[in-house]
Structure 1
Amino acid sequence: MSDALPEGIKHLVTIKPVEKAPKLTDQAKKELQGVGMMDDKGKLKLKGVSPKMLKRMKQEAVDCPVLNQEIAFVQCYVCKNFHSRVTGQVYCKGEPL
């Protein structure tokens, strides 16, 4: 693994498969509904993400370096610090929320 991260990226976070993903926080749900990525019933609707990929994303989690806790990958994916996902890892900007 190379130590050089892209400019503006502070963390390289590993995505791990989990049996049951952590629940989305109420704050995350409100943010998702506010930007139209979740309907009123709580169903995710991410543009550009196939249903098959979304199902896989729901079974993944990351140890968030900003929140210092394990969160569902979907919550990481919609975070303002999310830069990109590359081969089982996430580039995180690491800015305070």
Structure 2
Amino acid sequence: ISGTPKYTEKIFHEKLKKGDPYHGPFYPKTPEGVMKRIIRGMLPYKKPLGKKALKRVRVYREMPEEFKDRELKDFGAENKLRCKYITLSKLCERMGGK
């Protein structure tokens, strides 16, 4: 996630504090859950087409067995990133997730 880690952490912490623990909104604390929630925000998930699209989204923490034997393409994007950023796993760690 681009942006200063401190600011990004503050935004996600504010989202976690919204609502109450019994009635929601419930925000995920795992990297997979956060990523799926981000993707959900980009889709019209309350409409039938968006629901179908969201059901097809699969998010994994590690490379799944079915794709391990395939060749990976390297685009070299990590070398070009010059702005401040925080990884999703580090952000979730700091938020109390796994």
TM-score, normalised relative to structure 2: 0.24
Q: Output the TM-score relative to the length of structure 1.
A: 0.24
Higher helix share: 2
Question: Bigger relative contact order, structure 1 or 2, given CA contacts below 8 A and separation 6+?
Answer: 2
